[in-house]
C-alpha cells in the first residue's frame, strides 16, 4: 500500500482522497510537493487558545505514522492540524463545516489515549522482562 500511496501522491496531490486512507507523516517542508500555482498559508485564525507545546507534541507523536481513513469533509489534513494545535478538529476550508468536527476529534483523541496507555505500560512490561531475565533458576 505504501508504494501505491507514494506513487499516487506524486502524480496527484490529493491521492489520499482517492485512496480513502491517509498516514500522518513527518516531512521537511522543502520535500512537500505543492501543485503549480498553489500556495501554503499558515492559518492561526481559529477562536481557540493554542495548547501548550507539550500537549501539541504529545498529540503529534501519538498520531505520527498512524493510518486514518480520509474523508474530505470529516477527517482531512486541516482537522489533523487543528487537533494537534487546539485539541479540537476543525476545518475552515469547508464553509458549512467551520465548527468542531466531533467525529474527527474523537478519532484522533482515541489514538492519543491508546498511545498514552502504551507509554505507561511499555516501561512496566520491559522492567518485568528485564527482571525475569536476571533470575537464576535452580533445579531442585
Q: Give pLDDT < 70 ranges for the chain.
A: 1-20, 42-44, 96-98, 118-140
At 92 the three-state DSSP class reads: coil
pLDDT of residue 52: 94
pLDDT of residue 68: 85
Answer yes or no: is 134 within a domain: no
Answer yes or no: is 36 within a domain: no
Answer yes or no: is 44 within a domain: no
Answer yes or no: is 25 within a domain: yes
Interior CA angle at 24 toward 113 and 125, to 5°? Answer: 40
Answer yes or no: is 16 within a domain: yes
Answer yes or no: is 140 within a domain: no
Answer yes or no: is 118 within a domain: yes
Q: Are 72 and 28 in contact (CB under 8 A)?
A: no
pLDDT of residue 15: 47
Domains in the chain, number: 1
Answer yes or no: is 6 within a domain: yes
Residue ranges making up the domain that contains 27: 2-31+50-129
Cell digits for 78?
A: 486541516
Amino acid at each position: 500500500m505504501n508504494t501505491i500511496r507514494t506513487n499516487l501522491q506524486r502524480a496527484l496531490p490529493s491521492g489520499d482522497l482517492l485512496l480513502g486512507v491517509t498516514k500522518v507523516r513527518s516531512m521537511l517542508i522543502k520535500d512537500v510537493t505543492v501543485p503549480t500555482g498553489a500556495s501554503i498559508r499558515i492559518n492561526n485564525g481559529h477562536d481557540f487558545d493554542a495548547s501548550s507545546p507539550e500537549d501539541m507534541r504529545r498529540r503529534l507523536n501519538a498520531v505520527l505514522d498512524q493510518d486514518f481513513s480520509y474523508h474530505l469533509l470529516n477527517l482531512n489534513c486541516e482537522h489533523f492540524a487543528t487537533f494537534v494545535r487546539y485539541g479540537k478538529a476543525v476545518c475552515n476550508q469547508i464553509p458549512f463545516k467551520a465548527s468542531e468536527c466531533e467525529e474527527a476529534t474523537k478519532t484522533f483523541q482515541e489514538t492519543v489515549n491508546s498511545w498514552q496507555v502504551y507509554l505507561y505500560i511499555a516501561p512496566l512490561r520491559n522492567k518485568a522482562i528485564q527482571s525475569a531475565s536476571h533470575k537464576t533458576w535452580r533445579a531442585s
